[in-house]
Amino acid sequence: MAEAAAAPAVRAAVGDSEFDRDTAVTRRGPGVYDIDLSAGWSILGAVNGGYLLAVLGRALGDALPHADPFTVSAHYLTASRPGPAVVRTETVRTGRTLSTGQASLFQYDDEGNEVERIRVLASYGDLDALPGDVRTSAEPPAIPPAEQCFGPEDGPDPLDGVSAITERLRLRLDPATLGWALGKPSGRGEMRAWFGLADGRDADPFSLLLAVDALPPTAFELGLKGWVPTVELTVHVRCRPAPGPLRVSITTRNLAGGFLEEDAEVWDSADRLVAQSRQLARVRLG
| Site residues for a second copy per CB under 8 A | 70-71, 73, 75, 77-78, 92-93, 98, 100, 102, 116, 119-123, 127, 130-138, 188-189, 222, 231-232, 234, 236, 238-239, 253-259, 261, 272-273, 276, 278, 280, 285
Closest approach of Cβ 259 to a second copy, in Å?
7
Task: Count the neighbouring beta carbons within 10 Å of the beta carbon of residue 87.
Answer: 28
Helix (H) / strand (E) element for 208: namely: helix 205-211
Name 39's Cβ contacts closer than 8 Å, sequence gap at least 6: 82, 164
Closest approach of Cβ 3 to a second copy, in Å?
22
Q: Which CB sits closer to a second copy, 1 or 256?
A: 256
Please name which of 45, 81, 43 lies closest in space to residue 167, comparing C-alpha atoms.
43
What is the rounded distance in angstroms from the CA atom of residue 275 to the CA atom of residue 253? 19
Q: Which CB sits closer to a second copy, 38 or 100?
A: 100
Q: Which CB sits closer to a second copy, 20 or 190?
A: 190
Q: Which CB sits closer to a second copy, 11 or 282?
A: 282
Measured between alpha carbons, how far apart are the two ends of the chain, in Å?
43
Closest approach of Cβ 40 to a second copy, in Å?
27
- 177-182-188 Cα angle (round to 5): 35
Closest approach of Cβ 218 to a second copy, in Å?
11
